Amino acid sequence: MQPNFQPKNIVKTIESLTQEGLSVVAESAKGNDWDSVVGPLDKFEFELGQHTSVNSHLNSVMFNEAFNAEYEKTLPLITNFYSEISTNKALYQAYKNLKNSDLNEAQQHIIQDAVEGFELSGVGLEGEESTRFKAIKERLSLLSNQFSKNSLKATNEWKKPVTKDDLKGYGEDQLAKIKTDNGFEINLQIPIYMDVMTYADNRALREEVYKAYVSRASEVGITSSEFDNKSIMDEILALRLEMAQILGFKNYAELSVESKMVESPKQIIDFLDDLVAQSKPQAQRELDELKAFAGIELMPWDLGYYSEKLKEQKFGFKKTELTPYFPEQQVLSGLFSTIENLYQIQIKAVDEFTYHADVRVLEITNANGLVGRIYLDVYAREDKRGGAWMADYQALMGDNKPVAFVVCNLNSPSEGKPALFEFDEIVTLFHEFGHALHHVLTTVEYPSAAGIAGVPWDGVELPSQYMEFFCYERDVVNLLSKHWQTGESLPDELYEKLIASKNFQSALGMLRQCEFSLWDIHTHLSDQDTYEILDKVRAKTALMPSVDESRFLNTFGHIFSGGYAAGYFSYKWAEVLAADAYDYVHANGGIGSEASRSFMYHILQVGGSLDFMGQYVKFRGERPTTEALLKSNGITGLK
């Protein structure tokens, strides 16, 4: 069950496995029932997935040039292998034949999904079109990795020595993070960058750091232009368009929605436009309030700083007053207890060798024994890709239990202090554990539909965003908080201020997320330059002008090196589901109730084995509306 975190000869291993896989495919194509067609493929892909998952994971969390060079050689092998599977006409026919055989409901759903997957992967293509389609897929896998590598290197390249005088506004906790033997040094890692934007009184320093951050991996970047991602982005977008058109779609957005719950790109745009219309008046009021408070012409590097000051004034507390109450061990203990209470499981850390001393190994059990494992990697490091994510190592199959990786880039311990988490970081942890539970708690024994596999992309974020709501409940905050020095839980007064401030500038946040989502879908509807499209979208969504140096799209990994192309709207779509689901569970007994277990039975355990919206309706009793989303964000709509 333990992953091999010191793989050797990965190119030879993947070469050998993919060759073996082609033999498995040939045999499966001759089959005539579930066990002879799907069974052998599931078994083989389970093994191959273990190797590819570990390789990808190590490349993201322990990046080094030597391993990356080998890893890059495996990408065409894997891409070509899956291209061979998805365009194998005999295997496609074998799957189609199964539609008329004696299958249970989950098997029928899996076969239907697989048949549609074949068709979207070019199984009907012939000759030059088929060859070109496979070449595009191979090229896209390499470009995606290069984009991610450039983003990481550009982020790591920028560092700046600073003095204590430069850092007026910082508290001891912020100073401790950046202390060096010779003084202090700041960089563009997210925890450090956010501290500069939030606490540094020095406006010129905030401007410098902001411009360095938003210009990363670009031709105007303060870091080396050798990491410029623009040509990679352009090629990725052009190849996606060509791929969609080869399949008979007008654009990549149309291709993307074929495998999602939504019916069309227009439905996505209408959904987002409505959220913009509902949010924009309140967002303007929020910005006007901030401008009046700051008393200056606001620039982007002022927003975080003055927002924090305004928040302190409005709600009577500083963010830094909260962090001493949330030391890492207590936060994790509270998170685990909350999950245990929600789903009648137990989480226990086990001592085991991994790839880094920071990584914790967590065993999940229930009344019937072992359920699965989670490898938790919390702290930011230079050799680690930014952001937070969950990745699966293996699905449930026979005696093999599900295993997931949860990765964050949060604060780490410093100078005798434990890691003290900001509340936003706690929300991130809850979010990623929502994904991990979706993977680990599955009862589906078909790897192609177990956990997150087979779940439509616009449903994948439901379990993660649903989990976020619980970390604001008073009983949960009691579990999460224990002052690292006094042992005191978060006082009622501070808790009430935290809750009162929960939706501070939420309409501005909603507008920003809608801007990303609209840019993404419009970019994939068009062959126009992506920055020109961003300008058009911002004309409708933005309340402040951008700066000339801004090239933030050049590090937008979700779209160019993740799976969210023409799917970034999924965050908002799933947030509708999550807010509606939480409202229902909260109104029907909350944590530990039959309603919360119903979420586990109908959503988490079922994964991608049944129709996702159908399962949601079974759990909830009806389809969701945007009402709960707006209410949870404190957005009162058009006024």
| Nearest-10 crossing angle of helices 506-523, 570-587 | 140
Contact predicate 506/361, CB 8 Å:
no
Q: Is 617 exposed, middle or buried (CB count within 10 Å of its CB: 0-12, 13-18, 19+)?
A: middle
Q: Return the pLDDT at 636.
A: 83
Please give the backbone phi and psi of residue 179, each rounded to the nearest 5 degrees, phi first. -70, 135
Q: Is 348 exposed, middle or buried (CB count within 10 Å of its CB: 0-12, 13-18, 19+)?
A: exposed
Q: Is 56 exposed, middle or buried (CB count within 10 Å of its CB: 0-12, 13-18, 19+)?
A: middle
**In 31-64, where does DSSP find H-type helix?**
34-61
Residues identified as active-site: 432
Q: Is 582 helix (H, G, I), strand (E, B) or coil?
A: helix
Residues 6+ apart with CB under 8 A from 606: 442, 443, 444, 615
Residues 6+ apart with CB under 8 A from 626: 274, 275, 278, 576
Residue with tokens 């896989």: 21
The number of beta carbons lying within 10 Å of the beta carbon of residue 81 is 21
Give me the domains of the chain, ranges plus CATH numbers. 10-124 (1.20.1050.40), 159-215 (no CATH), 324-500+570-632 (1.10.1370.40)
Contact predicate 338/481, CB 8 Å:
no
Q: Hey, which residues does 417 pair with through a beta bridge?
A: 414
Structure tokens, 60: 């993201």
Q: Return the pLDDT at 628.
A: 86
**What is the Cβ-side half-sphere exposure of residue 381, based on CA atoms within 13 angstroms?**
15
Cα distance between residue 540 and residue 528, in whole Å: 18
**In 326-411, where does DSSP find H-type helix?**
328-343
The helix (run of H) or strand (run of E) holding residue 161 is strand 159-162
Cα distance between residue 238 and residue 136, in whole Å: 10
**In 87-126, where does DSSP find H-type helix?**
89-98, 105-120
Please give the backbone phi and psi of residue 371, each rounded to the nearest 5 degrees, phi first. -105, -45
Q: Return the pLDDT at 123.
A: 95
Structure tokens, 171: 């508290």
Farthest CA pair distance, the chain: 75
Please tell me the pTM assigned to this model.
0.90
Please give the backbone phi and psi of residue 187, each rounded to the nearest 5 degrees, phi first. -145, -170
Pairing of strands 183-187, 159-162: antiparallel
Contact predicate 447/42, CB 8 Å:
yes
The helix (run of H) or strand (run of E) holding residue 435 is helix 423-440
Cα distance between residue 159 and residue 162, in whole Å: 10
The number of beta carbons lying within 10 Å of the beta carbon of residue 627 is 13
Contact predicate 5/405, CB 8 Å:
no
Residues 6+ apart with CB under 8 A from 385: 60, 61, 63, 148, 151, 152, 557
Residue with tokens 């390249």: 157
Distance between first and last Cα of the chain: 56
Structure tokens, 45: 């892909």
Cα distance between residue 417 and residue 539, in whole Å: 46
| pLDDT averaged per 10 residues, the chain (length 639) | 90 97 96 96 95 97 95 94 93 95 94 95 94 95 95 94 96 90 94 96 98 95 85 98 97 95 95 96 97 97 97 93 96 98 96 95 97 96 92 93 96 89 96 98 93 90 96 97 97 96 96 98 97 97 95 96 94 93 96 95 96 95 89 79
- From the list 378, 376, 374, the residue with the least C-alpha distance to 408 is 378
Q: Return the pLDDT at 638.
A: 57
Q: Return the pLDDT at 639.
A: 47
Cα dihedral angle (99, 395, 368, 335), rounded to 10 degrees?
-130
Please give the backbone phi and psi of residue 251, each rounded to the nearest 5 degrees, phi first. -160, 175
**What is the Cβ-side half-sphere exposure of residue 591, based on CA atoms within 13 angstroms?**
18
